[in-house]
Amino acid sequence: MGIYTRVRIAAKRAFESIRNEKVKQNILQAVPFWVASSLTGLIAVLYARLFALAERGTQYILHTRAWSLYIISPACFIAAWWVVKKWAPYSRGSGIPQVMAAIELATPRFNQKVAKLLNLRILFIKFVSSLTMALGGGVIGREGPMIQVAGCIFRKINEWLPAWWPKISKRNMIMTGAAAGLAAAFNTPLGGIVFAVEELTRTHISYFKTALFTAIIIAGLTAQGLLGPYLYLGYPDVGHLSSYIFLWIAVVALIAGLAGSGMSKLILGIFRWKQKFRYSWQHILYVSTCAVILVTLGLFVNARAMGSGKDLITSSLFTSAKYSSWYMPFLRTAGPIFCFTTGAAGGIFAPALGAGASIGSTLSGWLHLADTDTNMLILSGMVAFLTGVTRTPFTSAILVLEMTDRHNVIFHLMLAGMIASLISMLVDKHSLYDHLKYQYVHAVVHEHEDAGKELTVSVKE
């Protein structure tokens, strides 16, 4: 055998060895994503069922012993606030700002700080607090909390890997978990991808796109395997739209975008005001007052002032009761303010969608629009209000698109999102999540973890 042949055989074996080692390393790096995604899907299903059960419990009380809500709701609100204050201060609120802060802090310098924002205690307290709020009739959602829960799961799986395992970027792991959490919560895989790109990071995703896509697919399929291939909302009729519908979409987007950003601004103002509280009884008094006001609105004005708002959306889209009363947008906007500022856990995604739907429904009633045009304005209001809160027009449009499977109105929804995003700049240059993210980053870096103290640092201009 000649030298050339021996060199060629040796080179071939070396190449195959390198290739096999690379394949092995890729598989080992993928396994943690697969495991974490499967767990995320399972927990998302459990959370969804428990949340629905809590909301049904509220409705049962409302229809059988309505007056007892004056005791039950304040008790639930105080309990939900207390467990957060006592055991996991960084589990308060939605959870999305905490994940955004964790992604920003996932650097060699601050890696140890990330554990304050994403850990198993936060996962457990997030469930307990938000479910307790839901049982008390709180205007909250489960989607934001599920994003933080998924971030906790992915981070913990990465932390548990042995020293010899191929290293995985902590930042990519958290971002992938958050996107998988949203996809599993809403059953919106494209929404999870767009959310990761538009909200969680402004950087290119080429370095972890395979892991991101795989995690979203596994989490979504796990949830679908247990719940079935459901749509979050259903199939509203948006065919045969009027030629002038774009005009009314623009009007709804302007109103809903201003309402969403205005609500966010008011929430931040209340947080700053609460900074003056020095004693626990002041927080308890505030939380109790919010609960009593919400119950009073639910009993004496409209029962739909309470709850996540999904019932209002489905009723407006799929029944003959399409038009909301003039005061419904005010109720649905006030509800998240009362609940989000308590300091308990609970998301703002679903309430924002409900508030936007009420704006579209109310305006359609004033204009006496046809059912299909009304449905279009309801969907546009949902996109616009959520955009006013998050400043993510494409994520908002894709989420609503996937919730309804109405691909023929994608341009209508994107128009609503873009208009809302632009008009929201008049109220505040930054989203609610941006403000809260900076607060959490500041608090964690400077070790300001005080369960009885509200975070009040604002985004720097």
At 235-264, the pLDDT tens digits run 888 888 998 999 999 999 999 999 999 999
| pLDDT of residue 195 exceeding 50 | yes
Question: With 0-12 CB in 10 A as exposed, 13-18 as middle and 19+ as buried, what is 190?
Answer: middle
pTM over 0.75: yes
Across the range 74-88, mean pLDDT stands at 96
| pLDDT of residue 282 exceeding 50 | yes
Across the range 126-143, mean pLDDT stands at 95
Q: Give the model's pLDDT for residue 450.
A: 47
CB 456 within 8 A of CB 271: yes
Q: Give the model's pLDDT for residue 443.
A: 86
Q: Give the model's pLDDT for residue 456.
A: 46
* Confidence band for 458, pLDDT divided at 50, 70 and 90: very low
Q: Rounded to the nearest 10 degrees, what angle do helices 170-186 and 96-105 cross at?
A: 160
Domain boundaries, the chain: 32-227, 245-445
Could you write out the DSSP letters of every residue in 261-292?
A: HHHHHHHHHHHHHHTT--SHHHHHHHHHHHHH
CB 32 within 8 A of CB 176: no
Q: What percentage of residues in the chain have a pLDDT greater than 90?
A: 58
DSSP class of residue 89 equals G
**Which of 95, 100, 166 minimizes the C-alpha distance to 125?**
95
| CATH number for the segment(s) 32-227 | 1.10.3080.10
Q: Which of 67-71, 141-145, 193-197, 216-220 has the lowest mean pLDDT?
A: 216-220
Please give the CATH topology (third level) of the domain spanning 245-445: Clc chloride channel (1.10.3080)
pLDDT, tens only, 400-455: 988 888 888 889 999 999 999 999 999 998 999 999 998 898 888 876 444 334 44
Q: Do the first three CATH levels of 32-227 and 245-445 match, i.e. the same topology? A: yes
Contacts of 397 (CB under 8 A, 6+ apart): 383, 410, 413, 414, 416, 417
d(CA 163, CA 146): 29
Count other C-beta atoms under 10 Å from residue 25's C-beta: 12
Across the range 349-378, mean pLDDT stands at 95
* Confidence band for 64, pLDDT divided at 50, 70 and 90: very high
| pLDDT of residue 229 exceeding 90 | no
